[in-house]
Amino acid sequence: MQLDTQTIRQLAVRLHERSGGRGEPRSSRALEPSSPEAEALVRRVAPMGEALYLMMVADGESNPRELRCLREAIQTLTAGMLSVETLDSMLDAFATSVRSEGIDARLMRVGAHLSADPEDAEMTVALCAALALADGSVESEESATFIALTEYLGLSSGRVARLLGR
Protein backbone atom coordinates (compact mmCIF):
# COMPACT_ATOMS: atom_id res chain seq x y z
CA MET A 1 0.00 0.00 0.00
CA GLN A 2 1.36 3.40 -0.99
CA LEU A 3 1.67 5.52 2.17
CA ASP A 4 3.78 8.26 0.62
CA THR A 5 1.03 10.65 -0.45
CA GLN A 6 1.17 14.43 -0.35
CA THR A 7 -1.30 14.49 2.54
CA ILE A 8 0.70 12.05 4.66
CA ARG A 9 4.04 13.63 3.75
CA GLN A 10 2.70 17.01 4.92
CA LEU A 11 1.49 15.45 8.18
CA ALA A 12 4.89 13.81 8.75
CA VAL A 13 6.67 17.11 8.14
CA ARG A 14 4.32 18.95 10.53
CA LEU A 15 4.89 16.40 13.29
CA HIS A 16 8.64 16.72 12.89
CA GLU A 17 8.51 20.52 12.79
CA ARG A 18 6.21 20.72 15.80
CA SER A 19 8.48 18.49 17.82
CA GLY A 20 11.24 21.04 17.38
CA GLY A 21 13.50 18.03 17.64
CA ARG A 22 12.26 17.36 21.18
CA GLY A 23 8.88 15.62 21.40
CA GLU A 24 8.44 17.07 24.88
CA PRO A 25 5.51 18.92 26.44
CA ARG A 26 4.90 22.25 24.74
CA SER A 27 3.47 23.90 27.81
CA SER A 28 4.25 24.22 31.47
CA ARG A 29 0.79 22.91 32.26
CA ALA A 30 1.67 19.22 31.97
CA LEU A 31 -0.36 17.16 34.39
CA GLU A 32 1.22 15.59 37.44
CA PRO A 33 1.98 12.00 36.32
CA SER A 34 0.07 10.34 39.17
CA SER A 35 -2.96 12.60 38.98
CA PRO A 36 -6.32 11.05 38.08
CA GLU A 37 -6.50 13.40 35.08
CA ALA A 38 -3.15 12.21 33.71
CA GLU A 39 -4.11 8.58 34.26
CA ALA A 40 -7.42 9.09 32.43
CA LEU A 41 -5.65 10.84 29.56
CA VAL A 42 -3.12 8.02 29.27
CA ARG A 43 -5.93 5.43 29.16
CA ARG A 44 -7.61 7.49 26.43
CA VAL A 45 -4.60 7.82 24.12
CA ALA A 46 -2.60 4.68 24.95
CA PRO A 47 -4.13 2.54 22.17
CA MET A 48 -3.34 5.21 19.57
CA GLY A 49 0.12 5.69 21.02
CA GLU A 50 0.77 1.97 21.01
CA ALA A 51 -0.31 1.67 17.37
CA LEU A 52 2.20 4.41 16.56
CA TYR A 53 4.87 2.62 18.59
CA LEU A 54 4.18 -0.61 16.70
CA MET A 55 4.65 1.24 13.40
CA MET A 56 7.93 2.67 14.67
CA VAL A 57 9.37 -0.73 15.61
CA ALA A 58 7.85 -2.69 12.71
CA ASP A 59 11.07 -2.61 10.71
CA GLY A 60 13.13 -3.78 13.68
CA GLU A 61 14.64 -0.41 14.43
CA SER A 62 13.65 3.06 15.45
CA ASN A 63 15.56 6.21 14.80
CA PRO A 64 15.56 9.49 16.73
CA ARG A 65 13.39 11.23 14.14
CA GLU A 66 10.69 8.53 14.37
CA LEU A 67 10.81 8.67 18.15
CA ARG A 68 10.46 12.46 18.16
CA CYS A 69 7.50 12.23 15.77
CA LEU A 70 5.89 9.54 17.93
CA ARG A 71 6.28 11.67 21.04
CA GLU A 72 4.94 14.72 19.20
CA ALA A 73 1.92 12.79 17.93
CA ILE A 74 1.05 11.75 21.48
CA GLN A 75 1.59 15.30 22.72
CA THR A 76 -0.66 16.57 19.93
CA LEU A 77 -3.36 14.08 20.88
CA THR A 78 -3.16 15.22 24.52
CA ALA A 79 -2.77 18.96 23.87
CA GLY A 80 0.68 18.82 25.48
CA MET A 81 -0.70 17.79 28.85
CA LEU A 82 1.51 14.75 29.49
CA SER A 83 4.85 15.10 31.23
CA VAL A 84 8.07 13.67 29.85
CA GLU A 85 7.94 11.14 32.70
CA THR A 86 4.47 10.01 31.64
CA LEU A 87 5.47 9.75 27.98
CA ASP A 88 8.53 7.70 28.93
CA SER A 89 6.38 5.39 31.06
CA MET A 90 3.97 4.88 28.16
CA LEU A 91 6.80 4.04 25.76
CA ASP A 92 8.33 1.64 28.30
CA ALA A 93 4.96 -0.10 28.69
CA PHE A 94 4.61 -0.42 24.91
CA ALA A 95 8.10 -1.92 24.62
CA THR A 96 7.40 -4.38 27.43
CA SER A 97 4.17 -5.50 25.76
CA VAL A 98 5.92 -6.06 22.44
CA ARG A 99 8.70 -8.06 24.10
CA SER A 100 6.23 -10.27 25.98
CA GLU A 101 3.51 -10.70 23.34
CA GLY A 102 5.02 -9.74 19.98
CA ILE A 103 4.07 -7.08 17.48
CA ASP A 104 1.28 -9.07 15.80
CA ALA A 105 -0.55 -9.87 19.04
CA ARG A 106 -0.29 -6.26 20.22
CA LEU A 107 -1.44 -4.99 16.84
CA MET A 108 -4.50 -7.22 16.97
CA ARG A 109 -5.32 -6.09 20.51
CA VAL A 110 -4.85 -2.39 19.73
CA GLY A 111 -6.85 -2.73 16.51
CA ALA A 112 -9.71 -4.43 18.35
CA HIS A 113 -9.77 -1.62 20.91
CA LEU A 114 -9.59 1.23 18.39
CA SER A 115 -12.15 -0.28 16.01
CA ALA A 116 -14.86 0.62 18.52
CA ASP A 117 -14.36 4.33 17.78
CA PRO A 118 -14.23 5.19 14.05
CA GLU A 119 -12.76 8.66 14.65
CA ASP A 120 -9.93 7.27 16.76
CA ALA A 121 -9.34 4.51 14.23
CA GLU A 122 -9.11 6.95 11.33
CA MET A 123 -6.89 9.39 13.21
CA THR A 124 -4.60 6.52 14.15
CA VAL A 125 -4.34 5.40 10.52
CA ALA A 126 -3.29 8.88 9.37
CA LEU A 127 -0.77 9.26 12.18
CA CYS A 128 0.66 5.77 11.61
CA ALA A 129 1.15 6.51 7.92
CA ALA A 130 2.92 9.77 8.80
CA LEU A 131 5.12 8.02 11.34
CA ALA A 132 6.05 5.31 8.82
CA LEU A 133 7.18 8.08 6.49
CA ALA A 134 9.00 10.07 9.20
CA ASP A 135 12.42 8.74 8.23
CA GLY A 136 11.84 9.47 4.55
CA SER A 137 10.90 6.00 3.36
CA VAL A 138 8.41 3.28 4.15
CA GLU A 139 9.99 -0.13 4.66
CA SER A 140 8.14 -3.28 3.60
CA GLU A 141 7.67 -4.30 7.25
CA GLU A 142 6.07 -0.93 8.01
CA SER A 143 3.76 -1.30 5.04
CA ALA A 144 2.75 -4.81 6.15
CA THR A 145 2.12 -3.58 9.70
CA PHE A 146 0.06 -0.69 8.37
CA ILE A 147 -2.08 -3.02 6.23
CA ALA A 148 -2.59 -5.39 9.16
CA LEU A 149 -3.63 -2.49 11.39
CA THR A 150 -6.20 -1.23 8.89
CA GLU A 151 -7.61 -4.75 8.62
CA TYR A 152 -7.86 -5.09 12.42
CA LEU A 153 -9.58 -1.71 12.48
CA GLY A 154 -12.10 -2.94 9.93
CA LEU A 155 -11.40 -0.11 7.48
CA SER A 156 -12.03 -0.72 3.81
CA SER A 157 -9.23 -0.13 1.33
CA GLY A 158 -11.31 2.68 -0.19
CA ARG A 159 -11.66 4.41 3.18
CA VAL A 160 -7.95 4.03 3.86
CA ALA A 161 -7.14 5.51 0.44
CA ARG A 162 -9.33 8.53 1.23
CA LEU A 163 -7.65 8.96 4.62
CA LEU A 164 -4.26 8.90 2.93
CA GLY A 165 -5.35 11.60 0.52
CA ARG A 166 -5.60 9.47 -2.61
Q: What gap in Å lies between CA 109 and CA 87, rounded to an integer?
A: 21
User: 27 lies in a domain?
Assistant: no
Contacts of 29 (CB under 8 A, 6+ apart): 80, 81
pLDDT attached to residue 21: 47
Picking from 14-23, 97-106, 113-122, 144-153, which range would have the lowest pLDDT averaged per residue? 14-23
**Number of domain units in the chain:** 1
User: 18 lies in a domain?
Assistant: yes
CATH number, domain containing residue 18: 1.10.3680
- pLDDT tens by residue, 92-137: 999 999 999 999 999 999 999 999 999 999 999 999 998 988 888 8
Closest-CA residue to 146 (of 165, 162, 132, 158): 132
Range of the domain at 117: 6-22+36-163
User: 31 lies in a domain?
Assistant: no
- pLDDT tens by residue, 24-43: 544 557 888 888 998 999 99
Picking from 52-56, 61-65, 125-129, which range would have the lowest pLDDT averaged per residue? 61-65
Q: Is the pLDDT at 66 greater than 50, yes or no? A: yes
User: 126 lies in a domain?
Assistant: yes
Please give the C-alpha separations between residue 5 and each of 19, 123, 144, 164, in angstroms, as whole numbers. Answer: 21, 16, 17, 7
